[in-house]
Amino acid sequence: MIHLKNIRKTYESPGRVSHALDGVDLHIRQGEVFGIIGRSGAGKSTLIRMLNLLERPTQGEVRVKGEDITRFSDARLRQYRQGVGMVFQHFNLLRSRTVIDNVCFPLRLAGMARRAQLERAHEVLALVGLSEHAGKYPRQLSGGQQQRVGIARALANRPELLLCDEATSALDPETTQSILRLLLDINKRLGLTIVLITHGMDVIRAVCDRVAVIDAGRIVESGDVLDVFLHP
Ligand code: ADP
Ligand code: ADP
C-alpha cells in the first residue's frame, strides 16, 4: 500500500546540515499494524510525517497505491489527507469545544453538512465507547478518554490509514493497554492500516504485525515483530 523509496530529509541551519532521514526504504502493507521504534531523535516523527506530507522529503518518493504523493497538486493532496487520520501524544483537542464538536471539526473542514457531521461523529464516538460523553468538555475527561476522543476525531473522515504519533506515551500503563486494545479492535473491525511510532518495545509487542527499527535516520532492522525481537 505504501512504499517509501530512498527517503532523505535534510535540515539546514547556518553552518550545520543534519540528515533526519538518510536513505529510508520501507514497505507498509494494506491492513497491517506497522510499528516504527527508535530512541529520541532517531527520526521517527520525521518519518511518520512523510506519510501525510506534514514534512516533505528532500529526496525520494512516497508511493501510496502506486502514486507518488509528493507530486500531487495541492487539491489532490488535500483530498489524500482526508483519508489519513492522525493521533497525537498530547491529544491536541480544542479545549473550548465539546467532545462532539472536536470530532466534527475535521468533517467541517471537509465541507460536510452539519447534520451529517453529527451523525458521523456519534457513530465514531460509539466506536471508541464515549457516546455518553459527547456533550462534555475535554477537561472533564480522563487522559485515556481524551485520547479516545482524539482517535474518534482521527476516524471521522473514515480514513484508510491511521498514523499514531506516540499515542500512548502520555498515559499510564493500564490506560496504555486499553488504548492499544482499542487500536487493535479498530484495525480488525474497520480493516484500516495503522502506522505507529513509539519508543516502547511493549507497545510494539502488544499490537504490531511488523516493525522497523530506526537509528540516526536509517532503518537498521525490519520485519515481523516475532523475528525482529528475540523471545524472552
Ligand atoms: P524522533 O521522533 O525519533 O525523536 P525526529 O524525527 O523528531 O526524531 O528528529 C530527527 C532528527 O532531526 C533530530 O536530530 C532532530 O533534532 C532533527 N530535526 C527534526 N525536526 C527538525 C527541524 N524542524 N529542524 C531541524 N532539525 C530537526
Ligand atoms: P457499514 O457498511 O454499516 O458502514 P462497516 O462494517 O463498514 O459497516 O463499519 C462498521 C461501523 O464503522 C459503521 O458504523 C461504519 O459507519 C463505521 N466505519 C466504517 N469504516 C470506518 C472508518 N474508516 N472510520 C470510521 N468509522 C468507520
Residue with CA nearest ligand 2 atom 8? 190
- Minimal-distance CA residue to ligand 2 atom 10: 190
Complex ipTM more than 0.85, yes or no: no
- Name the residue at shortest CA distance from atom 5 of ligand 2: 190
Residue type at 74 in one-letter notation: D
Grid cell at residue 193: 492500516
Answer yes or no: is pLDDT of 232 > 80: no
CB of 85 sitting under 6 A from ligand 1? no
Of the pLDDT bands very low, low, confident and very high (cuts 50, 70, 90), residue 108 is: very high
* Nearest atom of ligand 2 to the alpha carbon of 192: 23
- Res. 230 pLDDT band, cuts 50 70 90: confident
**Nearest to 225, CA basis, from 207, 211, 206:** 211
CB atoms inside a 10 Å sphere around CB 130: 22
Q: 2 CA to middle of ligand 2, Å?
A: 22
* DSSP characters over the chain: -EEEEEEEEEEEETTEEEEEEEEEEEEE-TT-EEEEE--TTSSHHHHHHTTTTSS--SEEEEEETTEEGGG--HHHHHHHHHTEEEE-TT----TTS-HHHHHHHHHHHTT--HHHHHHHHHHHHHHTT-GGGTTS-GGGS-HHHHHHHHHHHHHTT--SEEEEESTTTTS-HHHHHHHHHHHHHHHHHH--EEEEEES-HHHHHHH-SEEEEEETTEEEEEEEHHHHSPP-
Neighbours of 188 (CB within 10 A): 11
pLDDT digits (tens, 9 = 90+) for 36-85: 999 999 999 999 999 999 999 999 999 999 999 999 999 999 999 999 99
Residue 162 CA, ligand 2 centroid: distance in Å: 14
Partnered with residue 88 across adjacent β-strands are: none
The reply to whether ligand 1 has any atom less than 6 angstroms from the CB of 159 is: no
Instruction: At 57, list the grid cell.
Output: 522529503
18 Cβ inside 6 Å of ligand 1: yes
Could you give the CA distance from residue 39 to residue 117 in angstroms, rounded to a whole number? 39
* pTM as predicted: 0.90
